[in-house]
Amino acid sequence: MGSKVGVAMGYINISMSIALLLAPVIGGVVYNHAGYYAVFYVAFGVVGLDIVLRLLMIEKKIARQWIREPEAVAENSQDDVEKTSPANILDTQPPRSSTNIINTEAPVVDPAAEASDRDEQGNGSKESQGKHRGRPIITLLKSTRLLAALYGILVESGILIGFDAVLALFVRGLFGWNSTAVAVLFLALFLPGFVAPLAGWLSDRYGAKWPSFAGFVATIPVLISLRFVTENTIQHKALLAVLLALAGVTLPFSMTPLMAEISYVIEAEEAKNPGIFGEKGVYGLAYGLFNMAFALGGIIGPIWAGYVVKSAGWGTLTWNFALKLCEPQSI
């Protein structure tokens, strides 16, 4: 498709995975070694660092006001030198002739007509603004591609954060592991996530549909197989680690293309109706919808996972997760 949006979203997906998968582990380790309040000290420190980095960040469009490209500066300097040369000065001076008469009189404008034109233009602009007000969000929400992507993101977020809520408790109850052992287990799920840029590259090249479809299909048997981890043995521990590593590979293939699909939808709408989203575009609005869908999945996932595990057990949760992954494919 010519763009590199998918690759960029792959790197963003890596950072999100780091936060979602390692934050509970770090919190558990700090809690065991430094106590309850130390966990919040770490959180406040991370938030403070984030604020500082945001203040230091300069957007590209703002930087252009102070920084000019070296090539443009060099070209302008060369043009100034050429214009101030004696030959160019003589060439640019108009020939003196008595027949050259310059009309310096200003055109006569009727005040009433000018006021009438101004009113018509003013009323027209107001009507145009009122007519187009609210259209970008409506146009986005009318896109079935965008709605399908947002629903897939909601499901993916619910499963990922739901695992965060119950996986650590499950292995602690089954294997008797401490926070350090759980941290190693989460690394098995996180480290394969570095394939996310590859999933994004495939999305840029072939579109988001098939990479995302393949990711969802490949994740289903992995989630179902997690139900076979039932005993405190080396074989079952190794099986759990292998299955989580496979999930770490398949989940980015289902999530990253959906993140890139948001940009693809906007580009497609702009291609069909140039200027439909105005001069500034709607990328911020569209990814605001992405954050909303991801946050909604983060609310539903842990509640859903905790309820299913408590009422029906770990095995029921795994096939329940797998069944939920089938829904985005039917849209």
Where residue 37 sits, what CATH number does that domain have? 1.20.1250.20
Q: Calculate what percentage of the chain has a pLDDT beyond 90.
A: 23
87 in any annotated domain: no
> Residue 71: inside a domain, yes or no?
no
pLDDT tens sequence across 262-315:
999 988 888 888 888 877 778 888 889 999 999 999 999 999 999 999 898 898
In a domain, 297, yes or no: yes
Least confident of 33-47, 67-81, 102-116, 250-264: 102-116
In a domain, 293, yes or no: yes
Q: Is residue 125 very low, low, confident or very high in pLDDT (cuts 50, 70, 90)?
A: very low
Structural contact between residues 172 and 182, judged by C-beta atoms closer than 8 angstroms:
yes
| pLDDT-derived band at 71, boundaries 50, 70, 90 | low
Residue with tokens 């999530």: 255
Query: What is the model's pLDDT at position 100?
Result: 45
287: containing domain: 5-64+135-329
Q: Are 304 and 162 in contact (CB under 8 A)?
A: yes
pLDDT classification of 19: cutoffs 50, 70, 90:
confident
Long-range contact pairs involving 263-267 (C-beta distance under 8 Å, separation at least 24): 263/3, 263/5, 264/1, 264/5, 264/145, 264/207, 264/208, 265/140, 265/143, 265/145, 265/146, 265/149, 266/140, 267/3
Q: In Å, how far from its chain's centre is CA 275?
A: 23
b/e for 165-194, b at 16 or more Cβ within 10 A?
Answer: bbbbebbeebbebebeebbebbbbbbebbb
Better-scored residue on pLDDT, 181 or 73: 181
Q: Kindly tell me if the per-residue pLDDT of 175 is higher than 50.
A: yes
Q: pLDDT category, 191, cuts 50, 70, 90?
A: confident
Q: What is the pLDDT of residue 72?
A: 54
pLDDT at 27: 81
Distance of CA 198 to the CA centre of its chain: 16
Judge whether 106 lies within some domain: no
Mean of the per-residue pLDDT values of the chain: 78
Is residue 81 classed exposed, middle or buried when 0-12, 13-18 and 19+ CB atoms within 10 A define those classes? exposed
Residue 80 has pLDDT above 60, yes or no: no
**Mean pLDDT in residue range 90-101:** 47
Between 76 and 27, residue with greater pLDDT: 27
DSSP 68: -
Residue 298 lies in a domain: yes
Would you state the structure tokens that stand for residue 118, as one six-digit string?
């101004």
pLDDT given at position 283: 85
Which range, of 49-58, 64-73, 317-326, averages the lowest pLDDT?
A: 64-73
pLDDT band of residue 233 (cuts 50, 70, 90) is very high
Q: Is the pLDDT of residue 75 over 60?
A: no
Q: Tell me which of 64-73, 93-102, 226-235, 318-327 is least confident.
A: 93-102
Q: Which residues are within 8 A (CB) of 92 and not within 5 positions of it... i.e. 6 or more apart? A: 83
Among 81-85, 127-131, 133-137, 294-298, which is the least confidently predicted range? Answer: 127-131
User: 123 or 21: which carries more pLDDT confidence?
Assistant: 21
Least reliable range by pLDDT among 116-125, 194-203, 302-311? 116-125
Position 278 scores a pLDDT of 76
Is 130 contained in some domain? no
What CA–CA distance (Å, rounded) separates 21 from 89? 69
Contacts 24+ apart (CB under 8 A), 185-190: 185/240, 185/241, 185/244, 186/21, 186/22, 186/24, 186/25, 188/241, 188/244, 188/245, 188/248, 189/21, 189/163, 189/244, 189/245, 189/247, 189/248, 190/17, 190/18, 190/21, 190/22, 190/248
Q: Does 243 reside within a domain?
A: yes
Q: What's the average model confidence in pLDDT over 92-100?
A: 48
Count of structural domains, the chain: 1
